[in-house]
Amino acid sequence: MTSRTRNTLRIVSILMAVLVILMDLGIIPNFVNYHFWVMVIAYFLLVLSLR
């Protein structure tokens, strides 16, 4: 995996985590009703990018 791909995966995972946090705080409306699974996918992408 190239460094560009890793950086992209890190950015996507961080954006997904921030999106879920903002939805839980009520700052933005709920786009996805599956907050837990979105957060799991975000952490999976982060772990994948750290390898």
Predicted local distance difference test score (pLDDT) of residue 41: 92
Largest CA distance in the chain: 37
Structure tokens at 4: 């560009």
Instruction: Kindly tell me if the per-residue pLDDT of 31 is higher than 80.
Output: no
pLDDT above 70 coverage of the chain, percent: 100
Structure tokens at 50: 């750290």
Mean of all residue pLDDT scores within the chain: 88
CA–CA distance, 43 with 51 (Å, rounded to integer)? 13
Predicted TM-score (pTM) above 0.85: no
DSSP single-letter state for residue 26: T
CB 36 within 8 A of CB 30: no
